[in-house]
Amino acid sequence: MAKSIKEQLIRELAAGKFVSGQLIGESLGISRAAVSKQIASLNEIGFDIFSVTGKGYRLAQPIALVDKTKVLAALSTKALASKVEVHCLIDSTNNFLLRRLPDHIKQGQVCIAEHQSAGRGRRGKEWVSPFGSHVYMSMYWYLEQGMSAAMGLSVVAAIAISDAIESLYQIKVQLKWPNDIYINEKKLAGILIDLEGQALEPSHCVIGLGVNVSMPEQASSKIDQPWTDLQTHVSTPVDRNILIAEIISKLTERLHEHQEHGIVKMLDQWFKLDLYLNKPVKLVAGEKVTYGLCRGINTQGALLLEVERQIKPVYGGEVSLRKC
Binding residues, by number, are 92-94, 116, 120-122, 187
Task: Could you list the residues known to form a binding site for biotin, using ranges.
Answer: 92-94, 116, 120-122, 187
Give first-to-last CA distance, the chain, whole Å: 51
Please state, in angstroms and rounded to a whole number, the distance separating the CA atoms of residues 150 and 154: 9
Tell me, rounded to whole angstroms, the distance of Cα 285 from its chain centroid. Answer: 24
Residue closest to 180 by CA, chosen among 206, 205, 155, 163:
155
Could you give the angle at the alpha carbon of 170 between the alpha carbons of 164 and 176, nearest 5°? 60
Is the alpha carbon torsion for 38, 44, 48, 51 positive or negative? positive
Whether the CB-CB separation of 152 and 258 falls below 8 Å is answered with yes
Helices (H), the chain: 2-13, 21-28, 32-44, 68-73, 93-98, 153-169, 217-220, 230-233, 240-261, 267-273
State the catalytic residues: 122, 187, 322
Burial tier of 230 (Cβ tally within 10 Å: 0-12, 13-18, 19+): buried
3-state secondary structure of 271: helix
